[in-house]
C-alpha cells in the first residue's frame, strides 16, 4: 500500500516528519510522499535523522504547489523532484508565504470587523505554515456566537469555507490570490525541470460548475503527467471514473490520503476514504528509481 499525499508541520499538518514516517511504518506502507504546501522543509528535517530506524519503506520526494487555472486556485503535486532544483527555482519561499498569508489574514479580520463577526484581535501567523484561511476559520469557530453568520457546511468544514467564501468573488471574504500563483504550465515546467512528474491534485476538491469540463480544460494543456485519483474527497465512483480517465488519456494515476493529523481528524494515513487502502499498483507504471529511503 502507498500514500502519496501527506502534510507535516512544514506546511499545515499537525505532526512532524518523524511522526509521519513512524505512522507510515505502522500502517505497513511501501511508498509514501510528504507533499507539504509550497514547502520542502520536511525533507530537510528528515536529513537529520536515520530514516530507516523509523520507516523501512521508500520515500518519494514531493511537494504540493499552488497554481491557478481559469481564475481558480488549484494544486499541482510534484513527485520525485530534485529538492535543490526546486529550492533554487524560487517557486517556494517561507518569507513570501508569511508576508502573503498575514496580508490575507489582515483583510479577513477587516471583513469580520465590518460584519460584526467576533475574532481575536492579536491573531497572526508566525510559527508553522498555516494558511490565513485555516487560522481565520479556526478562530471564528472559537466564538460560538459567530455560527449564526455562516451556513452549517461552512461553519463545520474548513474546505467549504475556503472554496465557497475565500475563493468566491461574491463573498465578502473573497481574496484575490491568483496574482500570487503560477499557471499550471509554469508549475509543471518547474517540476519537470527538477526531474519530477506533475499531477493534478484532488479535482473534486475544487468548486466548479462542471467538473468534466474543468478537468478536460486542464488536461488539454498537455502540461501534466497524471491525476490524483485516490483522495479523501473522492468517492469510489469518482476514483474509478478518474482511473478510467487516466487510462483513456494515457495519463499516470496517483493517490493519497491528504493526511493533516489533527487538522483533518477523519483522514487516516494510508487510506483515501474510510476503509479504502491506496494500492501500490497505480504507482508501478511510473515508479521512480528506488524513491528515497
Tell me how many domains the chain contains: 2
pLDDT given at position 293: 43
pTM: 0.85
Give yes or no for a contact between 252 and 226, defined as CB atoms under 8 angstroms apart.
yes
Do residues 277 and 204 both lie within one domain?
Answer: yes
Average predicted confidence (pLDDT) for the chain: 93
Sequence-distant (6+) residues with CB within 8 A of 62 are 4, 33, 34, 35, 77, 78, 79, 80, 81
Asked if 82 and 209 sit in the same domain, the reply is yes
Do 137 and 267 lie in one domain? The reply is no
Do 196 and 282 fall into the same domain?
yes
The residue among 123, 154, 178 that closes a domain is 178
For the stretch 152-202, pLDDT in tens is 999 998 888 988 899 888 999 999 877 778 999 999 999 999 999 999 999
Cα 23 from Cα 271, distance rounded (Å): 12
Rg, C-alpha atoms of the chain: 19
Question: pLDDT digits over 248-267, tens only?
Answer: 999 999 999 999 999 889 99
Same domain (yes/no): 87, 186: yes
For residues 87 and 199, state if they share a domain.
Answer: yes
- Which CATH number characterizes residue 81's domain? 3.20.20.140
Q: Which domain holds residue 149?
A: 94-178
On whether both 122 and 69 belong to a single domain, the answer is no
The CA distance from 204 to 208, in Å, is 9
On whether residue 143 sits in a domain, the answer given is: yes
203 touches 219 (CB < 8 A): no
Determine the pLDDT at residue 176: 86
Do 143 and 218 share a domain, yes or no? no
**Segments in the chain below pLDDT 70:** 127-129, 290-293
Is residue 291 in some structural domain? no
User: Are residues 172 and 215 located together in one domain of the fold?
Assistant: no
Note whether 21 and 55 are within 8 A (CB). Answer: yes
CB within 8 A of 18, min separation 6: which ones? 45, 46, 49, 54
On whether residue 293 sits in a domain, the answer given is no
60 and 195 co-located in one domain: yes
Residues 202 and 237 in one domain: yes
Amino acid at each position: 500500500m502507498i500514500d502519496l499525499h501527506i502534510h507535516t508541520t512544514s506546511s499545515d499538518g499537525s505532526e512532524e516528519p518523524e511522526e509521519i514516517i513512524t505512522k507510515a511504518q505502522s500502517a505497513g506502507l511501501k511508498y509514501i510522499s510528504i507533499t507539504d504546501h509550497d514547502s520542502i522543509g520536511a525533507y530537510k528535517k528528515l536529513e537529520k535523522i536515520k530514516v530507516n530506524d523509523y520507516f523501512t519503506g521508500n520515500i518519494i520526494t514531493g511537494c504540493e504547489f499552488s497554481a491557478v487555472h481559469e481564475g481558480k486556485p488549484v494544486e499541482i503535486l510534484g513527485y520525485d523532484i530534485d529538492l535543490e532544483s526546486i529550492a533554487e527555482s524560487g517557486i517556494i519561499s517561507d518569507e513570501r508565504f508569511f508576508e502573503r498569508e498575514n496580508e490575507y489574514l489582515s483583510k479577513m479580520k477587516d471583513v469580520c470587523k465590518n460584519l460584526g463577526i467576533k475574532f481575536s484581535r492579536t491573531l497572526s501567523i508566525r510559527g508553522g505554515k498555516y494558511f490565513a484561511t485555516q487560522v481565520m476559520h479556526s478562530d471564528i469557530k472559537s466564538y460560538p456566537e459567530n455560527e449564526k453568520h455562516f451556513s452549517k457546511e461552512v461553519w463545520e468544514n474548513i474546505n467549504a469555507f475556503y472554496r465557497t467564501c475565500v475563493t468566491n468573488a461574491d463573498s465578502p471574504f473573497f481574496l484575490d490570490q491568483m496574482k500570487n500563483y503560477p499557471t499550471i504550465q509554469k508549475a509543471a515546467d518547474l517540476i519537470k525541470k527538477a526531474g519530477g512528474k506533475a499531477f493534478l491534485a484532488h479535482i473534486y476538491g475544487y468548486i466548479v460548475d462542471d467538473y468534466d469540463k474543468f478537468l478536460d480544460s486542464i488536461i488539454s494543456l498537455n502540461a501534466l503527467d497524471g491525476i490524483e485519483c485516490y483522495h479523501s474527497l473522492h468517492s469510489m465512483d469518482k476514483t474509478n471514473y478518474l482511473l478510467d480517465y487516466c487510462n483513456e488519456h494515457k495519463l499516470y494515476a496517483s493517490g493519497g490520503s491528504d493526511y493533516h493529523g489533527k487538522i483533518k481528524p477523519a483522514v487516516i494515513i494510508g487510506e483515501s476514504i474510510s476503509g479504502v487502502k491506496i494500492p501500490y499498483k497505480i504507482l508501478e507504471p511510473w515508479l521512480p528509481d528506488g524513491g528515497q529511503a
